[in-house]
Amino acid sequence: MPRDVLARMRQELEENIDPKTRDGAQRFFKEEVKFHGVKSAAVRKIAAKHFQEIKGQEKEEIFSLCRDLLETGYGEEAFIAFQWSYNLRSGFQPADFSVFEGWLVRYVDNWAKCDTLCNHALGSFLEMYPEFLVNLKGDWALSENRWLRRASAVTLILPARKGLFLEEAFAISEILLQDKDDMVQKGYGWLLKEASKKHQEEVFNFVMRRKAEMPRTALRYAIEKMPTDLKKRAMAR
């Protein structure tokens, strides 16, 4: 029965293709991407509808369905896989870290997939099991894989909004400080911006001490929500 769900869901995605959405998707990405062309609101409804059919299954079975979705490479199917995994967050266990890390390595090939997985399922996982923060500061932030490096920062976005993991946010931003990849620069700049909502003074001081080395892209992201006077001081050469 669970495999039938995927067939029905894909049929529904096909029925909801919007040519304008499909034809315009590529402009948001530098790398080649695959999208059916279904609007985000419709994808969310389809994901929620079909999750009701499988939510009684074992977590491992649902993760298996998620892998099937990820294998196709389509953005909408990745979104559904990551939404379903987030729906299981109350049952997350430490062993699930290797599942999510494996998905990052094998299936994440653009910023949208990276952020969808990291902001929700992985962010929730880290709040439950902060002992895995060491993996973000170590293997991920130092990886040759640009999406793992971005993930080391954006996984902490939602916790940072709550004021959590400031020390780790600074440590990761320090490692990524002079990264040449703009996707990574934007990732840790975004993390600092979210951290500044609860820790404005600390983030401002962090930026001021490093602004000579920090790429302007990351700097602009980091100070985006700060008062005008602080922005001017941070942007001054």
Cβ atoms of residues 36 and 14 within 8 Å: yes
Joined tokens for residue 55: 């939510």
CATH of domain 108-237: 1.25.10.90
C-alpha count within 13 angstroms, C-beta hemisphere, residue 153:
30
Joined tokens for residue 135: 């993996």
Enumerate the domain spans of the chain.
1-91, 108-237
pLDDT, residue 2, reads 67
Q: Which fold has domain 1-91?
A: Leucine-rich Repeat Variant (1.25.10)
Neighbours of 5 (CB within 10 A): 16
pLDDT greater than 80 at residue 1: no
The DSSP symbol for 140 reads: I
Handedness of CA 137, 138, 139, 145 (dihedral sign): positive
pTM of the predicted protein model? 0.95
Neighbours of 102 (CB within 10 A): 11
Tell me what the mean pLDDT of segment 150-164 comes to. 97
Of residues 236 and 185, more confidence is placed in 185
* 3-state SS assignment for residue 74: strand
1-91 and 108-237 agree in CATH topology: yes
Task: Please state the three-class secondary structure of 75-93 as a single string.
Answer: HHHHHHHHHHHHHCHHHCC
Model confidence over 52-94: pLDDT tens digits? 999 999 999 999 999 999 999 999 999 999 999 999 999 999 9
Model confidence over 35-44: pLDDT tens digits? 999 999 999 9
CA separation (Å) from 12 to 7, 9, 43, 45, 87?
9, 5, 9, 11, 21
Q: For all residues of the chain together, what is the average pLDDT?
A: 96
Cβ atoms of residues 10 and 43 within 8 Å: no
